[in-house]
Structure 1
């Protein structure tokens, strides 16, 4: 992954910004809204906000957590019942004991959805969460009304190399000291990184996956995204049968942190159409 360290610092910088500016609702650690569900080998944490049609939000991987989705949760809970989920190994969710696969992660999402509703839902995912969203829509088409996938394009093994090394991945630095306070299994953090490296370096999001997606899908990306380059995002859009494409100019991987208003202007009309 050519821009992993750049992405890491972007996520950290914006996470710190949220912690300083959004103190009303502690997304990701809110006892008033928090719940747990057992999903096979892991106990998963999620929070529920608002009323209306159900929409589940899936955050980014490793440094990502539901607080990075603050602007989305703030805006969406006015009109939707929003489920903000902590994916396994992130925040207050357990890692589990079984190998990491997108099938398992899709089943995690289904377990959380089932804990809240038996109806079909809207799925909004970013980066790692968007790849999981693709898998949920593929495996459980009857449970996904429509989907927004941000920063996730075509991916084949060997296209990128992911490794979580360098100062930002020192488990004793301030960032991880704070994150480990939420984790039920902080001693497993480094091993989780190694397992996720293997997972990311072997994952595939290809024609077979994209062609199997039946729901209406908005594929959205920053023009300058180096983690999901523009060509790969356009390829995903072209392979998903019922899809729309939105490219946000002059923004990178975390496009919604750089220009939320424009991202929202693309997402809101997509969600409002039945």
Structure 2
């Protein structure tokens, strides 16, 4: 009986290891999608920086042609987000830019830290990386949680940000939406993804604690007129027409409140519009980056 139990545990351990060693994937990745570079777990390009109470992990990708040394910082989405979900952006941008892909605290190889989550803290994480990499003004591209962080960086450090692209992040005030994270349901959505991500995390045993903190944070955060009016750099606000996380009216509100904003709505797409229609998303971004 003990021998059989030991064999079953060993088999489960082996299956878990095999799953973790499969090519790194984003959440809900389709079988026909191939991501060649393990963004978020690439030892040849990975670095750490200490930001207050947490070590933050980031990767640097230099352009094949270095005539343009402009640095662009990539911020993925929250909770189900990871650096590898931004693969299409990194693949496209690294041809001509120095791309720095940051795993935000509590995601991938970045630590959670010991203090409550705020966008001020997350903005300071980003600025710590920017200060380590880019002496000049930087560009930020952020999605969802990463876009709200980018808004805060641009507000707090206007002299350091040249321009930014914010995807899937509109006006947000308490009570506008109710965020509830059920750990069992989240883990069951994509078990292989979570097996891989937990293998990267410095403290995977704190994941549910982190989610509980993020649930409280998301339900009490404010991103409205005071924040948006303080952003001085050019901002390209993007969203999917059918985005339920950042409904169109909230995105248009943000656009109207930011002094120097452009707006791009990707038709017939949801929250992760760049995965549903990357060509249309990229077509909007290219001229913004050139100007």
Q: Give me the TM-score of the superposition, normalised by structure 2.
A: 0.87
Question: Any gaps of 5 or more consecutive residues in structure 2?
Answer: 1-25, 64-68
Q: Is the 8 A contact 2:27 2:85 kept in 1?
A: no
Report the Cα distance in structure 2 between the residues aligned to 1:135 and 1:17, rounded to whole angstroms: 36
Aligned to 1:257: 275
Aligned to 2:117: 100
Does residue 1:137 correspond to 2:154, yes or no? yes
1:164 equivalent among 163, 169, 181: 181
Seen in structure 2, the aligned counterparts of structure 1 residues 17 and 138 have a Cα distance that, compared at 3 Å, is farther
Structure of larger gyration radius: 2
Query: For 1:12, what is the secondary structure of its paired residue?
Result: coil
Q: Deviations over 1:137-182 (max 9, x none)?
A: 0000011000000000000001111111164323894332221000
The 5 A counterparts of 1:88-237 are 88-165=105-182, 167-170=184-187, 173-237=191-255
Q: Deviations over 1:174-220 (max 9, x none)?
A: 33222100000101000000000000000010000000000000000
Offset of residue 12 of structure 1:
2.4
Which range moves more in the overlay, 47-56 or 73-82? 47-56
Offset of residue 261 of structure 1:
0.3
Does residue 1:22 correspond to 2:35, yes or no? yes
Question: Which structure's relative contact order is higher, taking Cα pairs within 8 Å and 6+ residues apart?
Answer: 1
Q: Would you identify which runs of 4 or more consecutive aligned residues in structure 1 move more than 6 Å?
A: none
Offset of residue 17 of structure 1:
4.9
* CA root-mean-square deviation: 1.5
Query: For 1:177, what is the secondary structure of its paired residue?
Result: helix
Q: Give me the TM-score of the superposition, normalised by structure 1.
A: 0.92
